[in-house]
């Protein structure tokens, strides 16, 4: 994936991590399955050791990540998304018959 690629969320099950994310009273915005998003930043080797994305359509507060010793916005694992496959446009030529 690349910056500004359109992606669709295919996994919005955050049940294992949601309590941890909201424990400090943060309101966290999460991607929704089936909805399209645009990649605004890619962490190549995030906390989980795999790429993760920040999305233009979702903004969250920065929070301190002890593992990284820095404060930043929550990014979402790459496996939660797939690239949007654009359908090729079909063009029809209308014939006008003149008698």
DSSP character for 10? -
What pLDDT score was predicted for residue 88? 53
Q: Which residue has the higher pLDDT, 22 or 39?
A: 39
Annotated domain spans of the chain: 6-83
What pLDDT score was predicted for residue 87? 53
Helices within 1-99 (DSSP H only): 18-22
**Prediction pTM value:** 0.78
pLDDT, tens digit, 9 for 90 and up, residues 26-55: 778 999 999 999 999 999 876 778 899 999
Tokens standing for 69? 């010793």
Q: Single out the residue of 10, 12, 81 nearest to residue 40, CA to CA.
A: 81
Is 97's pLDDT higher than 70? no
Cα within 13 Å of Cα(71), Cβ side: 5
| pLDDT confidence bin for 86, thresholds 50/70/90 | confident
């Amino acid at each position: 994936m690349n910056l500004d690629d359109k992606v669709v969320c295919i996994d919005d099950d955050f049940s294992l991590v949601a309590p941890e994310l909201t424990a400090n009273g943060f309101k966290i915005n999460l991607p929704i399955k089936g909805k399209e998003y645009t990649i605004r930043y890619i962490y190549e080797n995030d906390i989980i050791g795999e790429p993760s994305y920040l999305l233009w359509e979702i903004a969250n507060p920065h929070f301190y990540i002890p593992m990284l010793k820095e404060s930043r916005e929550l990014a979402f694992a790459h496996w939660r998304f797939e690239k949007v496959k654009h359908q090729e446009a079909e063009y029809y030529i209308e014939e006008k018959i003149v008698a």
